[in-house]
Amino acid sequence: MKTVMAKPEDIKNRKWYVLDGEGKVLGRLAVEAARILRGKHKPDFTPHVDTGDHVIVINAEKIVLTGNKLKNKKYYRHSGYPGGLKVVSYETLMKTKPELAVEKAITGMLPHNRLGADMARKLKVYKGSKHPHQAQKPEAWQL
C-alpha cells in the first residue's frame, strides 16, 4: 500500500457548506468549521496542501458562550504604538461585531502560516440568516 499525497492541481471541485450558529456553542462550531476548511473530513486530506472546502457561518449573533466567558473572556488587539492595547469583553463584542468573534475563533484553529491564511479566505461569516452565496449551491452541514 502506498500513501497518496494530494497535489494542489489535484484539488478541483471545492464544495460550499453552511453552518447555522443558532443556539450552538462558539468553540464547538469553530472546531467543525476549521475541520471543513482544512479538509480533514475528506479521504484525500494532506497536511501541507489546502484540500478544504468553503464554509459559510450564518446566525453569528445567536451563538452562545458557556460559563462566564461572556463577561470574563476578553478580545485583545494592539495598534503597534506604545499604549495602543485595546481590550473588549466578549459581551460587548457579541453585541457589536459577532462575526469577528466567530471568525477569530475559527482562524485561531487553523495553521498560523500562509496555508492557514489561504484557508481563512474560504470562510464567510454573517450576522443574520441571509448570505449572498446562493449561486454556489451550499449544502447544510449538521453539527
**Domain containing residue 113: CATH number:** 3.90.1180.10
Has residue 26 been placed in a domain? yes
Residue 2, pLDDT score: 87
Cell of 1: 500500500
Has residue 9 been placed in a domain? no
Residue 3, pLDDT score: 85
Has residue 84 been placed in a domain? yes
Has residue 119 been placed in a domain? yes
Domain count, the chain: 1
pTM for this entry: 0.92
Cell of 34: 476549521
CA pair distance 123, 26, nearest whole angstrom: 15
Residue 121, pLDDT score: 97
Has residue 1 been placed in a domain? no
CA pair distance 23, 64, nearest whole angstrom: 6
Of 106, 29, 33, 35, which is closest to residue 62 (Cα–Cα)? 29
Range of the domain at 101: 15-140
The pLDDT tens digits along the chain (143 residues) read 888 899 999 888 899 999 999 999 999 999 999 999 999 999 999 999 999 999 999 999 999 999 999 999 999 999 999 999 999 999 999 999 999 999 999 999 999 999 999 999 999 999 999 999 999 999 999 98
Has residue 56 been placed in a domain? yes
Has residue 132 been placed in a domain? yes
